[in-house]
Structure 1
Amino acid sequence: MAAARRLQLCAVSPTGRHSASVIFLHGSGDTGQGLRAWVRDVLVPDLAFSHVRVIYPTAPVRPYTPMRGALSNVWFDRYKISRDSPEHLESVDAMCSSLGSIIEDEVKAGIPKHRIIIGGFSMGGAMALHLVCRHHPDVGGVFALSSFLNKDSAAFQDVEKRLKAGLSLPELFQCHGTSDELVLHQWGEDTSVLLRKFGMNTAFHSFPGLNHQLSQPEMELLRGWILSKLPATASFDSHNS
């Protein structure tokens, strides 16, 4: 197997002792730096924490079929943007390997996997769901903003297998605007319903009038959820001092 590609990273360091990490994946055509700037513009006083490192990777440039093969920063290829389309699993799985290296680096730095949250916006949210549901179900949580999985996604199949085997999965936090015309609100909600059906604990939040974008109320809700999953704990600090 070819070595995983090392990805360019943009990171926001914690102001205090690093005891948890968030990996936040951008949407198609964006970069880690672009998403980081967007988050900073939308959320005051920023998605920053005293103990959590927030990592914004950049997807590699590849030909993207929905753009007629034009080059773009995308996590994986799609045959088309549709819930009914088959997934381009070869590109999805290759990127799971590359992103898995970031998780491994955080673990090597002393962060337990249950103290790592992975999520993303749009395509980044779908990528996060594949990464967590199929390869890293022992992380602390997963979030998906304005995202969806295809109707017959391999992620659904793996979640169902884990349920039947009596294995656990992390909680999913989802947000979606009701006016999103690129990734329909119904697609996002259907993803939540199916994952819940297969046994995953999911929370789906609708934002009336929000299009395919981030918003301050959404990001404030996300920040609170992250803190609920990754609290700053004195016991962790003393154990790792």
Structure 2
Amino acid sequence: MINMAAVKLQKSVVSQAGKHTASVIFLHGSGDTGPGLRSWVLDVLGQNLAFENIRVIYPTAPLRPYTPMRGAPSHVWFDRHKISQHCPEHLESIDSMCDHLGDIVQDELRAGIPKHRMVIGGFSMGGAMALHLVCRHHQDIAGIFCLSSFLNKDSAVYQTSTISCVDKNWSCFAPGS
């Protein structure tokens, strides 16, 4: 069994060209890695997400046993009981990863970047992880984005007061938007 308490997330970083004044934390989907997502962005855009003052951070989820793959190790942000929106979330693994990703938020704070200058998002499972991280633990982050993502039907994210969800049917928006 992997000791998740000892995990230090690996990161692929596209540094800003000038003074570092903001950060984007971009989480990959299940089975991928930070460098894999960075490479995908390069393939799609023909260039890195590179900005004058914004650092882009692509963390890699640790290799962990993944129940839907019969316990085979995979780079996933959290475990799932099964791939179904109707089953309960594996909150223990989600909350553990929120703590580890919170360390990256803290690193950016120590670098002088306030939360209102950070955006966190992700693709697929990375988007679900971003929703949990921001909506349940770091509600003062400037923004969140999710690409081709999901939440389970009774997700703990729906219990937060920071988002409203239309029919719990994957259409989410911040109050006032």
TM-score when scaled to structure 1? Answer: 0.67
Q: CA deviation at 1:17?
A: 1.0
Number of the residue aligned with 2:75: 73
Number of the residue aligned with 2:105: 103
What is the alpha-carbon distance in structure 1 between the residues aligned to residue 60 and residue 121 of structure 2? 13
Matches within 5 A, 1:1-241: 5-159=7-161, 190-192=169-171, 195-196=172-173, 200=175
Q: CA deviation at 1:201?
A: 5.4
What is the alpha-carbon distance in structure 1 between the residues aligned to residue 28 and residue 47 of structure 2? 20
Going from structure 1 to structure 2, the CA distance change for 1:117 and 1:156 (only over 3 Å counts) comes to: same
Q: Which amino acid aligns with 1:82?
A: S
Q: CA deviation at 1:109?
A: 0.4
Higher strand share: 2
1:15-46 residue CA offsets vs partner (Å, 9 max, x unmatched): 11110000000000000011111111111333
Number of the residue aligned with 1:211: none
* Structure 1 alignment gaps of length 5 or more: 163-168, 170-186, 203-241
Question: Is this contact kept in 1: 2:63–2:75, CA < 8 A?
Answer: yes
What is the alpha-carbon distance in structure 2 between the residues aligned to residue 74 and residue 13 of structure 1? 25
Q: Percent identity?
A: 66
* Structure 2 alignment gaps of length 5 or more: none
SS of the aligned residue for 1:190 comes to coil
Question: Is this contact kept in 2: 1:4–1:101, CA < 8 A?
Answer: no
Question: Is this contact kept in 1: 2:41–2:47, CA < 8 A?
Answer: no
What is the alpha-carbon distance in structure 1 between the residues aligned to residue 64 and residue 82 of structure 2? 15
Higher helix share: 1
The list of structure 1 runs, each at least 4 consecutive aligned residues, that deviate by more than 4 angstroms after superposition, is none
Question: Is this contact kept in 2: 1:4–1:94, CA < 8 A?
Answer: no
Going from structure 1 to structure 2, the CA distance change for 1:114 and 1:67 (only over 3 Å counts) comes to: same
What is the alpha-carbon distance in structure 2 between the residues aligned to residue 5 and residue 45 of structure 1? 31
Question: Is this contact kept in 1: 2:67–2:79, CA < 8 A?
Answer: yes
Q: CA deviation at 1:4?
A: 6.6
